[in-house]
Amino acid sequence: MAHFAKISEENIVLSVMVVDNKDTLNADGVEDESVGQQYLETHCNWPAHLWIKTSWSTFENTHINGGTPFRGNYAGVGNTWDSDNQIFWKTKPYPSWVKNNTTATWNSPIGDAPALTAEEIAAQKHYAWNEANQSWDLTNINT
């Protein structure tokens, strides 16, 4: 099965459609994205160039079965298609966060949260992003 994301003209993922592999084969019997796009244009009334193939087994630019990742992340409704970097981006969690094209994730402008110490884990602490202060704040899990 092949998965194609239906995107708006503003590159927002509207839905994801599953297509039988046979409907994506070209005349030589090779899987070809453009064949699947044309198939979807015909049957789903949406332009071919606004159907983008996506891989359900790709998450944060890693293939869950050890294969080759494809386009950063499996497309989800509301995600954004970035044709320059060929990545489906999840929703930006905070306005200040920046793209990491290598991992297809959003990173804080000061990097990842510090690692928790054993004492902090035992005390059920975690780091939460503070957008106003642009810092990682150590807080209780339940707060």
Contacting positions for another protein (CB under 8 A): 6, 8-9, 12-15, 45-47, 50, 77-78
Q: Of 79 and 108, which has the nearer Cβ to another protein?
A: 79
Taking the complex as a whole, the smallest distance from the CB of residue 85 to another protein amounts, in Å, to 21
Pick the closer one to another protein by CB: 48 or 138.
Answer: 48
Please tell me the distance from the alpha carbon of residue 126 to that of residue 132, in angstroms, as a whole number. 18
DSSP conformation class of 143: -
Shortest reach from residue 13's CB to another protein, in Å: 8
Shortest distance in whole angstroms from residue 88 CB to another protein: 14
Determine the longest span between alpha carbons in the chain, in angstroms. Answer: 62
Q: Up-side HSE of residue 29: CA atoms within 13 Å toward CB?
A: 0
The DSSP string of 5-63 is EEE-TTSBEEEEEEE-GGGGB-TTS-B-HHHHHHHHHHHHSS-GGGEEEE-TTEETTEE
* Smaller CB separation from another protein, 41 or 120: 41
For the bound state, the minimum distance from the C-beta of residue 46 to another protein, rounded and expressed in Å, comes to: 6
Residue whose CB is less far from another protein, 13 or 52: 13
CA 121 to chain centre: 29
